[in-house]
Amino acid sequence: MFDKRSTVKEKLTLMIPGPTPVPETVLQAMGSHPIGHRSAEFQAIVERTNQQLQWLHQTTNDVMVITGSGTAAMEAGIINTLSKGDKVLCGDNGKFGERWVKVAKAYGLDVEVIKATWGQPLDPEAFQSSLKADTNNQIKAVIVTHSETSTGVLNDLEAISQNVKNHSQALIIADCVTSLGACNVPMDKWGIDVVASGSQKGYMMPPGLSFVAMSQHAWQAQQNSNLPKFYLDLGAYRKASHNNSNPFTPAVNLYFALEKSLEIMQEEGLEEIFRRHARHRAAAQAGMKAIGLQLFAAEGYGSPAITAVEPKDIDAEQIRKDVKKQFDILLAGGQDHLKGKVFRIGHLGFVNDRDVLTAVSAIEATLESRNGHQGKMGSGVAAAALAIKQNS
């Protein structure tokens, strides 16, 4: 008997900020038979991926690979560079900024929160003011989220990092989970000390791996760090990495996927990757505006990874449900107090122009069926198509 539910499951299109769609060749690579993680064959893969990861991060520094989520990478970056009681500035303008505040407090750090309203960007001058006032050099690190997934806001990491560099001691620790592989994050050029990311985002892979890149300044701080760590001890990862290995049993098959996904990214090239994501941001934003929906992120600060939309007179969760039921497209919902108030269109990783146009048209058709379309039917798709043309 024909099972419609199984067909829908096979056809479901992910337009969320993670997990993101995965290329078939990456899935095929991941499906290879496992090999020994201490074998010469696996060491060769580690050596190649180490070089590819440095290319992606635009750095000459070590990039460690952890079997874990992006949260593991951020926690590792924090606990390997700081000590109990250290003062840190933590940016909070969304769900993930809040998370890093909680992590820092859980490890006994003295946290000063730099807040901004959800939907608004962090103010680089607020960090500058606190850093300038720190005449006794008590601030040891600044912790920020580059692309705040919960709100679709892209914070000005370059400006914040520059303010940190003007401080004599502080490190800049950056959550780049949904920005790395979506927009320019030149680690060395911007002087970022710690960059954390995860495999299920711009890497175009399933969840399971996370990545931490550390500057020489960060490694110097690591020597004095006294926060508890074992599995997330980056010193052990660095030592193993220099021998093309891993201190623990890694997700071997995800390494196969990593190598293939990074090959795909290198073939496309960084600049084209950034242009593609910027084009999809422009298309999603134009499409939503044309059908009368309001963007949640402040103008000019939209993330190239995800567009948050705030429908004023329609339940955002109902829009999500309708789009999934009728068109087999999964959009992301609002988090915490934004649940039911916003929905989010993911356009991160293995996404092309067609995917964005399809999502915009599905949202437009859903609004039309609920009498929520405020323009002429087709205006959303037309606006998105024009934005794609103008940004190609």
Residue located via tokens 């039921």: 325
Q: Are residues 244 and 313 in the same domain?
A: no
Q: Are residues 220 and 292 in the same domain?
A: no
Q: Are residues 237 and 286 in the same domain?
A: no
Does a structural domain hold residue 315? yes
Q: Are residues 274 and 339 in the same domain?
A: yes
**CATH code assigned at 150:** 3.40.640.10
Q: Are residues 273 and 330 in the same domain?
A: yes
pLDDT band at 2 (very low <50, low <70, confident <90, very high): very low
Q: Are residues 50 and 95 in the same domain?
A: yes
Q: Are residues 153 and 219 in the same domain?
A: yes
> In angstroms, rounded to a whole number, what is the distance separating the alpha carbons of residues 18 and 177?
10
Q: Are residues 306 and 199 in the same domain?
A: no
pLDDT digits (tens, 9 = 90+) for 342-355: 999 999 999 999 99
- Domain limit, last residue, from 224, 243, 266: 266
Q: Are residues 75 and 175 in the same domain?
A: yes
Q: Are residues 241 and 363 in the same domain?
A: no
Give me the helices (H) in the chain, please: 4-11, 24-30, 40-57, 70-79, 95-106, 124-133, 157-165, 187-190, 216-222, 234-241, 252-268, 270-290, 316-327, 353-369, 379-390
pLDDT digits (tens, 9 = 90+) for 22-41: 999 999 999 999 999 999 99
In this structure, what are the phi and psi dihedrals at residue 180, rounded to the nearest 5 degrees?
-65, 125
pLDDT at residue 58 is higher than 70: yes
Does a structural domain hold residue 26? no
Containing domain of residue 308, as a range? 4-20+269-390
The per-residue b/e assignment along 281-295, b for 16 or more CB within 10 angstroms, e otherwise, is bbbbbbbbbbbbbeb
pLDDT at residue 1 is higher than 60: no
Higher pLDDT pick, 373 / 355? 355
pLDDT digits (tens, 9 = 90+) for 115-137: 999 999 999 999 999 999 999 99
Does a structural domain hold residue 301? yes
> In angstroms, rounded to a whole number, what is the distance separating the alpha carbons of residues 208 and 60?
25
**CATH code assigned at 363:** 3.90.1150.10
Residues 89, 128: contact at Cβ < 8 Å? no
Q: Is the pTM of this model over 0.85?
A: yes
- Specify the number of domains making up the chain: 2
> In angstroms, rounded to a whole number, what is the distance separating the alpha carbons of residues 132 and 135?
7
Q: What is the DSSP string of 100-113?
A: HHHHHHHTT-EEEE
Q: Are residues 201 and 301 in the same domain?
A: no
Confidence at residue 8, expressed as pLDDT on a 0 to 100 scale:
54
Provide the Cα torsion 237, 96, 362, 204; round to 10°.
-10
| Mean pLDDT on 327-339 | 96
Q: Are residues 105 and 222 in the same domain?
A: yes
Quote the mean pLDDT of the chain. 95
- Domain limit, last residue, from 221, 238, 266: 266
pLDDT digits (tens, 9 = 90+) for 231-289: 999 999 999 999 999 999 999 999 999 999 999 999 999 999 999 999 999 999 999 99
